[in-house]
Amino acid sequence: MAKDENLLLDVLTPWPSNKETTVRPTIVLLSPLDGHRELTARLHRAGRSTAGPVLDRLERGEHVFGVDVSNDVLDEFEAEEITGISARLGEFGAVLLEYPDVPSVRDLLREVIHGMSGLLDTNHGQLLEFADVLDRFRRDPLWDWRTATR
Please state the domain extents for the chain.
3-13+25-139
CB 14 within 8 A of CB 21: yes
Write out pLDDT tens, residues 107-117. Answer: 999 999 999 99
- CA dihedral angle for residue 20, residue 4, residue 42, residue 61, rounded to 10 degrees: -10
Tell me what pLDDT residue 89 has.
98
> Which residue stretches of the chain have pLDDT < 70?
1-22, 148-150
Tell me what pLDDT residue 148 has.
67
Task: Please return the burial class of 26, using the count of CB atoms within 10 Å of its CB with bins 0-12, 13-18 and 19+.
Answer: buried
Tell me what pLDDT residue 147 has.
85
Predicted TM-score (pTM) of this structure: 0.84
Residue 63: name the closest of 96, 26, 102 by CA: 102
Tell me what pLDDT residue 8 has.
39
